[in-house]
Structures are given as structure tokens and as C-alpha cells.
Structure 1
Amino acid sequence: MNLMLMGLPGAGKGTQAEKIVDTYSVIHISTGDMFRAAMANETPVGVKAKSFIDQGELVPDEVTNAIVKERLGQADLASQGYMLDGFPRNIDQAHALTQINQELGKTLDAVIDIQVEPKVLVDRLSGRFICRTCGATYHKLYNPTKVEGTCDHCGGHDFYQREDDKPATVKNRLDVNLKMNAPLVDFYQQAGILHQVNGDQDIAEVFAEVQTILDQIK
């Protein structure tokens, strides 16, 4: 069983990925892992990718696609399925993945898209705040201070948010991801393999939905 996992930042993709790997014994393949392995092993495409990264440049699609093909063709995937995470990121990469699978005699069986309303994700992702005095970290939803406005550790009252955690920054990041994901959602919907899961519920309930989908196709 070969899968692709989609979801906006904060949707719980990482948690569900772990559960899918544990339950279905597929190999979790993230873009970062592929790049690191290819560069560490100094494969030809790994060396090429490193030349771009070392110069602070984006790795071109053709190099990324070559790294994916190299990884999907490795022996450990001959008997086990894969779960792609972070690839494809655009429609050209999606077409390349289709071609790669055809050349390797594989098929992409399902795309799991974990959906959560952006407003909910803004609350999740922008809830972190930090005590300026001692550096203790809190979250307004999941880990608030015991006494509002007072640090549990040092009793300080001065808190701040990192720029990346501020609501405006988070919203902008989500908007960028939404625009990137929209063509992929359409592409895999038309292919008939897109399965959308409600990510705005308990972790176990989300995974129960995922299991229902995967049990039907494995």
C-alpha cells in the first residue's frame, strides 16, 4: 500500500503519520529524510542537491524528482509500501510522481488529506507564549499558566510571542500552504484517490477515520 499524506501546518499530520506507520508497516518517507540520505550517501543527485542548498538556493523540481525516484526504487520498498510526506508540493511534482510510479511499476493507492478549518489552526499555532523572565513556554489552549498572567515557574508577569507564533504570521503561512495545496487536491480528487479526513477532533477519532479508509484499500 502506497500513500501520500497531506495537511496544513498544525493539522496533526505528524501524529497521524506515526500511527499509520505503526499500524500498517509502511515506510515513512519525508522530503527532508530523502535529501539528507542522498547527500550523506553522496549519490549523484544528492551531490547536485547539495550544490544548490550550500548556495542557499531552492532545489529545482527535476533534482527533487530524481531524489524521490532514487528513494522509491530502493530495495526496502520492494516488499513494503511507502507513505510520502512533503512531496509532491506542486502540480508538476505530482505529474512527476505519477511518471516515477509507472516507471517503477508502483501505484499511489490513496492520498489522505487531514482537514482542519484555518481559523482553528490559527488558534492552535498562535497560542504559544513565553515567559520573558525564565523562558518557560505555555500555550493558551493546551498549556496555560495556572494563574492567568503569572508564570508557574518564576512568578513573572512579562510574556511575549515569537514572530513565527503571532496570528498574522501564522495566517499568512496557512494562506500560502492553502494556495499550494489546492491544485494537488483537485488533481488527486480527479484521480479518484483523495480521501479527506476531519482533523478537528480527538486524535483517536481522526485515526479511526484514517483506518476506515486504509482498511478498505490495503
Structure 2
Amino acid sequence: MRLVLLGPPGSGKGTQGARISARHGIPTISTGQLFDRQISAGTPLGRRAERYVRAGELVPDEIVLDMVADRLAVSVDCAEGFLFDGFPRTYPQAEALDRMLAASCGPLDAVIDLQVDVDEVLARIRRRAHTEDRLDDTEDTARRRMAVFAAETAPLRRYYEQAGVLHTIDGTGEPDDVATRIHQTLAAVAHPQLHLGSGG
């Protein structure tokens, strides 16, 4: 399956992404990891991205898309599908990804949008800061990150909703329960004929 996982900071994307990858036997592709690998390897793409990363600036879409295209093209593990985590982040990136996939392996099967309200995210961050000594996880930081995420992804949600591939999942509760909701949704995507009478 070809998937995108959306969700605000603290929504459990990392946990659920790992479960989706394991269940479906597909790699998770994170742009942060792509940057790290390309920069560490000193590739031409890595050198182009490095100055933006070092300066704490957003890496331009052109470089991000080149890295994604390179990852999809050179890796045999993507042949059976993939899960994007943290990409696309903007409307132009989503459009460019669709063009890229149309020219290669085919369109996205589903976009999973984990919905978690602010109070739940803040509660999770408080627990994480206490148990993992995460000094960078403060409520103010979390609120800023969520505000940025909401502003960035609102157009993405509309884009994928219009494309008919957006599936909103309640991300609250135990990880096992969230994973079950995601699995049921993806099962319906993979085998729609078996779910026609289920009422959606």
C-alpha cells in the first residue's frame, strides 16, 4: 500500500507508523531521516540540504522532492508500497508527490489523519517529559508546534479529501485501540467490496 500518515506532534505518529510498516511489510519514509542519511553520506543532495538544516531553516521543496524521488527510485523495498511520515507538509509538496507517483508506481491508496485534541496532546507531553526527561517538551512549545501543524496541514486535508483518499482516525486512547482503528480503515481501503454493506 502507498500511504501518508498525518498527525500533530504528540499524536502517536511514530508508534502507529511503526505498526503500519510492520503489519503491511512496507518501509516508513521520514524526510528527517532522509536529510540525516544524505547529509551524513555527503551526497550532492545532502550538501544542498545541509546549509538549510544547519541554519535551522526549512529545506526548499525542490530539495525535499529530489530526496523523496531518489529514495523511491533506488530502493527495492518500496516496490510493494511505503508509508510517508512527515511528508508532504505543504500543498505544493502534495501536488508534486502526486505527479511523481503518477509517473512511477501509481497513486496513493490512503492518507491516514490522526486526530488528537490539544488537551490530550498536552497530557501526553507532560507524561513524556516526566518519564523520559524530555526538557524540550513544554506546553508552550507543544502549542506552537500544533499551531504550525494546523496551519500547514489544513490545505493538505482539503486536498486529500477532494481526492477521496483522506481517512480521519481518532488518535485518542490506548495505542492498541488506535492501531485497530487504522487497521480496519486500511482493510476497507484494500478490500472495499467486503465493506460495502458495513455502512462505511
Task: Tell me the TM-score normalised to structure 2 length.
Answer: 0.85
Q: Distance in 1 between matches of 2:160 and 2:2?
A: 14
SS at match of 1:5: strand
- 1:60 deviation in Å? 1.0
- 1:128 deviation in Å? 5.4
Greater RCO structure (CA 8 Å; 6+ sep): 2
State the match for 1:95 in structure 2. 95
Which has the greater radius of gyration? 1
- Give the alignment of 1:1-218 within 5 angstroms: 1-77=1-77, 79-127=79-127, 137-138=130-131, 162=135, 164-218=136-190
Q: Distance in 1 between matches of 2:75 and 2:121?
A: 38
**Residue-pair matches, total:** 190
Single out whichever of 44-53 and 56-65 deviates more from structure 2: 44-53
Q: Distance in 2 between matches of 1:8 and 1:39?
A: 26
SS at match of 1:17: helix
Q: Does structure 2 conserve the Cα–Cα contact (< 8 Å) formed by 1:112 and 1:196?
A: yes
Task: Tell me the TM-score normalised to structure 1 length.
Answer: 0.78
Unaligned runs of 5+ in 1: 130-136, 140-159
State percent identity of aligned pairs.
36
SS at match of 2:88: coil
SS at match of 1:207: helix
- 1:4 deviation in Å? 0.5
- Kindly tell me: are residues 107 and 128 of structure 1, through their superposed partners in 2, closer, same or farther at Cα, counting changes over 3 Å? closer
Q: Does structure 1 conserve the Cα–Cα contact (< 8 Å) formed by 2:26 and 2:78?
A: no
SS at match of 2:103: helix
- Cα shift readout 1:53-81 (whole Å, capped 9, x = no counterpart): 34554321111111111111124145321
- 1:175 deviation in Å? 1.4
Letter of the 2:175 counterpart: I
Q: Does structure 1 conserve the Cα–Cα contact (< 8 Å) formed by 2:9 and 2:142?
A: no
Letter of the 1:118 counterpart: V
- The structure in which a higher percent of residues are helix is 2
- 1:41 deviation in Å? 4.0
- 1:82 deviation in Å? 0.4
CA-atom RMSD in angstroms: 2.3
